[in-house]
Amino acid sequence: MKSNIRKILLNPYLIILIAFGVWMYFFDDNSIRIHQELNEDIEKLESSIEFYKEETEKDKTIIENHQDLEKLEKFARETYHMKKENETIYIIQYDSINK
């Protein structure tokens, strides 16, 4: 029984097959491990592409809204606190801390 197991383990084809498998998994430029890492990178990049597409759509709607001068003026007043000449603006900020 022991000699049969030893014969199988010392079979040159099995040794070559195991060496080939180890080489392909760890050391080769086209190894399975590298392919897994590259697939993860591809997934991350695809998700960032989706994020930037959504942001681009949001920016397009903002640009479309700013084509109208009244909407552009409202945006500038609210976001950048711009004002007209001879106009006073009071900005009221509330503290979220209760005393």
> Percent of the chain beyond pLDDT 90?
26
pLDDT per position as a tens digit, 35-66: 889 999 999 999 999 999 999 999 998 888 77
How far is the C-alpha of 21 from the C-alpha of 3, rounded, in Å? 25
Rg (CA), the chain: 33
Cα three-residue angle 9-14-19, rounded to 5 degrees:
110
Task: Specify whether the CB–CB gap between 32 and 24 falls below 8 A.
Answer: yes
- Tens digits of residue pLDDT in 65-94: 778 888 888 887 878 877 778 877 777 788
Q: Which two tokens stand for residue 63?
A: 């640009």
Phi then psi for 30, rounded to 5 degrees?
-105, 35
